[in-house]
Structure 1
């Protein structure tokens, strides 16, 4: 049977085994548990509200502290270039290489991407990289994938920005096939071909590396629910939490896999206000809030069906260790990834 990808059909995604159980995948289990909510941090692990570039100092120390207090995951962004129009370069280092560095200095915390810009990546090489990283971390990897939103970067890769949606689907399909199948056959006008005489090693250590969409990636929510292992969207307003959860939950029973649970998450910048009761206020790329109000907001998110929240406190003008201490004492006891911390509120 010829399993090559018909490139002309841009809505086609090769159907591998979509009904995958991640109960044994350590990275997935730490972050996503039905009926519960965990908290993650978006890199870099320092604040730099007045500079686009972090110092990248003491990050392994901060990663260990985050792991100890019950942070579920660390998320690396994929930003190839510094564009002054955006004023943000993430953690500077290439995300997969930097995740490997943090893996060596930590033990259990999930390591993720938020997200790898698939249209700019070769699917065969990304399969090799992600399978290797999932193996070397013993299943601590969760891959967030996106289409990218910085149009200025696309010409540097020789890619038409307007094609990023279809390229995302094609790269994702080829990645899944090459990553998980033995001696796969494929043919693509963009990414090469194989007659089935070659195999990709290593394979994912738990059968498949969990892959979630970060943002819509130029896809419909239905497509994401059908083809990916979860969805991480932008931070909703408090009054939007219920509809945010319901719109996702309504799609899951109708996917071809028949699964009843696929995780829903959201993420963005966090300005942790010094007044712990400071109410939710929208800021560019995220929200400002006090720690007690954040705890209440996350409880509402959990009740709405949200499984994970990824926070980036880079815009908070306070030392990162101070932010972690406040999150660890007020917020995380209710939402910690460490079972010994899940014991109710003080």
Structure 2
């Protein structure tokens, strides 16, 4: 298998590779929201009853990556608990129930975490998954979390740089002589950044292996991807996400809303092609607003959309 970073964009000239953002539920659809209220779950706390089935299905259908967010605490004011489970523990579980799909963090909030244990956790997931980890990292954007963890919000940029250095050298410069952190990784962990992480664009371009960009229109991404490549060069991937509500009608036009839109599969194909032309090399689909059953939606995408872009299926 190629490196996780190479596998993420192993569709040169054909368009972006397609992944999925966890959790795999549709609680933000009208029907899903009604079910959530009946079940008594707070807004943003997903229904995880089918998560193992849907993750295995995504792997079997050929989606390129699963992306898990790092949300350590549920804040009702923010209203999004992501996939609930602790991100490295969950990816370790997913490594055991999947075979090929890449496992990404989008993104681990480094300054909140103990550096040595973060490195060990990431190396563990990478080893258990056979080198499938994509380590998305960030400095965090929820100030309320920092005092709970005994961390200073204002200095998070400095701690971010310190932890990146440890992730790069496996702790060699930080640990006492003769002390080794295990497991060792076969390759350096690929680091993809969400945002600027309180750094300069030049620093980010030099020290990160890829970019996890905020959702946007093709026009937004044409500008942002050009900015990324100006500091990072041409060889480092630029990825982003779409909130997707896939219609039953394959010919339904795109109705754009914040972070994505409602559309049929033909409009989805055009949108993905436009994103590729704008410089996006991987797209993670966020399905929480999707009105149809997720397994049905995933199967339609796998049958009609993935073959247009995944010219080089992973071995």
Counterpart of 2:157 in structure 1 is 165
What SS is found at the alignment partner of 2:288? Answer: helix
**Aligned-residue CA RMSD (Å):** 2.1
Aligned-pair CA distance for 1:265: 0.7
**Structure 2: stretches of 5+ with no match in the other structure:** 34-42
Go from structure 1 to structure 2 and tell me whether the alpha carbon gap of 1:305 and 1:238 turns closer, same or farther (over 3 Å shift). Answer: closer
- Residues 47-83 of structure 1 show CA distances to partners (whole Å, capped at 9, x for unaligned) of 1113421121122221122122221000111111111
Task: Give the whole-Å Cα distance in 1 for the aligned partners of 2:311 and 2:50.
Answer: 23
Q: Number of residues paired by the alignment?
A: 297
Q: After alignment, is 297-306 or 124-133 more displaced?
A: 297-306
Counterpart of 1:12 in structure 2 is none
Counterpart of 1:110 in structure 2 is 102
Counterpart of 1:279 in structure 2 is 254
What SS is found at the alignment partner of 1:161? Answer: coil
Counterpart of 1:129 in structure 2 is 121
Aligned-pair CA distance for 1:275: 5.0
Q: After alignment, is 211-220 or 228-237 more displaced?
A: 211-220
Aligned-pair CA distance for 1:280: 5.1
Counterpart of 1:336 in structure 2 is 310
Which 4+ residue blocks in structure 1 deviate beyond 6 angstroms?
A: none
Aligned-pair CA distance for 1:146: 1.1
Counterpart of 1:10 in structure 2 is none
- Residues 63-104 of structure 1 show CA distances to partners (whole Å, capped at 9, x for unaligned) of 122122221000111111111111110110101111111111
Task: Give the whole-Å Cα distance in 1 for the aligned partners of 2:269 and 2:209.
Answer: 26
**Structure 1: stretches of 5+ with no match in the other structure:** 1-22, 187-193, 254-259, 341-346
Tell whether 2:70 aligns with 1:78: yes
TM-score (norm 2): 0.87
Q: Is the 8 A contact 2:218 2:278 kept in 1?
A: no
Task: Give the whole-Å Cα distance in 2 for the aligned partners of 1:238 and 1:209.
Answer: 29
Task: Give the whole-Å Cα distance in 2 for the aligned partners of 1:163 and 1:40.
Answer: 33
- Residues 9-41 of structure 1 show CA distances to partners (whole Å, capped at 9, x for unaligned) of xxxxxxxxxxxxxx842x323312354410111
The 5 Å alignment of 1:258-337 reads: 260-274=234-248, 276=250, 277-279=252-254, 281-283=256-258, 286-290=259-263, 291-336=265-310
Counterpart of 2:197 in structure 1 is 217
Counterpart of 1:6 in structure 2 is none
Q: Give the alignment partner of residue 43 of structure 1, picking from 22, 25, 28.
A: 22
